[in-house]
Structure formats: C-alpha cells, structure tokens
C-alpha cells in the first residue's frame, strides 16, 4: 500500500495519496479517509462489498469514498481493511472490512462530504497520486 499526507485548507481538509498502482492509490485514499476521521481499526471485521460507476477515475474516487463515509455515518461503522478487486476508468468494485463503533470508541474529524474541490487522480513518473478534499 502507498502513503498519504493531510493537506490543510480553510474550510476543508485534504488528502494526498501516493502509491505504485491506481488500485493502491484508491486503497490508500480510503485508508487516509478512515484515519483522518478516526475510524480506522486495523484487524478483522465484516466485509461489505462496494461497487460504483462513474465517468472517470476522479468521479470513481468521490463516489467510492462517499460510499465508505455513508457506511460510517448511517451504520456507525469503523473500517478494518480495504481491498479493491476490480478497477477500470469507469467502474470500481471492492471490499471494506467493518466493525461497529462503540460509545467508548473515539473518532476525530467529523467529515460531512467528499468534494470535487482540487480533485485529481493522476499517473506520474513515480506512480499514482490522488488529491481529494473533504468538507468538515
């Protein structure tokens, strides 16, 4: 898996994910979102399949991360793992491991939405990079 860094912004918080492959950059961005929100709990968990379609990699990243955020918000779930099984320029299918959050679990930033602000998914000479901002 690649690495990520948090990007500061006035009303949002951003993430720059880097990895060797496009699949790994999506997995890394997912891990970054979960880490930023304080909902990453590495380990075993119930797997949930996520599948979305969009016009391009950028749209796929927004829709994929929005589904992950929805699982957290609607079902009070933490992420324990992320695996992308299939990714094309218009389709993504993968699995996230999840577990219920308890009252004693601490989270950090409350992320309201995934945005298109400064959104980019690009292949570079050093691998893949994804930049994405979240409304907090």
CATH number, residue 8:
3.55.10.10
User: Which of 64, 59, 61, 35 has the alpha carbon at shortest distance from 48?
Assistant: 64
Reply yes or no on whether the pLDDT at 10 is more than 70: no
Residues in the chain: 136
Rounded to the nearest 10 degrees, the angle between the axes of helix 22-37 and helix 57-75 is 30
Task: Give the number of domains in the chain.
Answer: 1
Q: How far apart are CA 111 and CA 123, in angstroms?
A: 27
Quickly state the pLDDT bin for 108 (edges 50, 70, 90).
confident
Which has the minimum average pLDDT: 42-46, 75-79, 87-91, 95-99? 42-46
Q: Is 110 exposed, middle or buried (0-12, 13-18, 19+ CB in 10 A)?
A: exposed
Reply yes or no on whether the pLDDT at 2 is more than 90: no
Is pTM beyond 0.85? Reply is: yes
Reply yes or no on whether the pLDDT at 6 is more than 80: no
pLDDT digits (tens, 9 = 90+) for 64-77: 999 999 999 999 99
Quickly state the pLDDT bin for 9 (edges 50, 70, 90).
low
Number of Cβ within 10 Å of residue 10's Cβ equals 4
**Residues 99-103: what's their mean pLDDT?**
89
- State which residues form the domain around 129: 3-135
Reply yes or no on whether the pLDDT at 1 is more than 90: no
Which H or E run contains 46?
strand 46-53
């Amino acid at each position: 898996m690649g690495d990520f860094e948090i990007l500061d912004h006035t009303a949002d918080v951003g993430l720059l994910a880097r990895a060797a492959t496009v699949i790994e950059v999506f997995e890394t961005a997912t891990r970054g979102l979960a880490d930023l929100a304080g909902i990453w709990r590495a380990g075993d968990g119930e797997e949930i399949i996520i599948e979305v379609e969009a016009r391009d990699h950028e749209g796929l990243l927004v829709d994929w991360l929005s589904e992950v955020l929805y699982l957290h918000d609607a079902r009070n779930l933490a992420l324990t793992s992320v695996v992308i099984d299939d990714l094309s320029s218009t389709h993504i299918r993968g699995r996230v491991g999840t577990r219920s959050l308890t009252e004693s679990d601490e989270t950090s930033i409350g992320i309201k939405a995934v945005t298109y602000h400064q959104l980019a998914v690009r292949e570079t000479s050093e691998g893949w990079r994804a930049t994405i901002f979240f409304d907090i």
